[in-house]
Amino acid sequence: MDMGAGLGIVITLVSILFSLVVFGGVAFVMWKVFGGLMKQSQERQALLATGMPAMGRVIQLVDTGMLVNNNPQVRIVVEVQMPGRPPYPADTTMIVSMLAIPRVQPGCMVQLRVDPMNPARIAILI
């Protein structure tokens, strides 16, 4: 085998290895992002189905910088108001339709579901 053929094989192998590393990195990042969003959505759906009803006054709306189908993921801080309990702050991060953003502005009242085992866990009905 001459030197040029050996160098060509090495370059090909390095190119394949580089492509696999890049593809693996992209796949890992996508798995982390979309896997986290899927888990968050499942937890929210379970809380909406089983949580105690409450009301909340939106205190703060913060953009996380992430978009899903052109809808922003936001962190919403609310003052939870439940009968027989003093108001307390809680927050949740969720994807909100662009059409629903006016309903979660500071000062707005929103319907909530609160985890009876952990009142800091809330889901907002939008």
Q: Return the beta strands (E) in the chain as ranges.
A: 52-68, 71-81, 88-95, 109-114, 122-125
Alpha-carbon dihedral sign for residues 28, 29, 35, 36 = positive
Domains, the chain, in order of start with CATH, read 51-125 (2.40.50)
> pTM of the entire structure?
0.71
Per-residue pLDDT tens over the stretch 38-82: 777 888 899 989 999 999 999 999 999 999 899 999 999 999 999
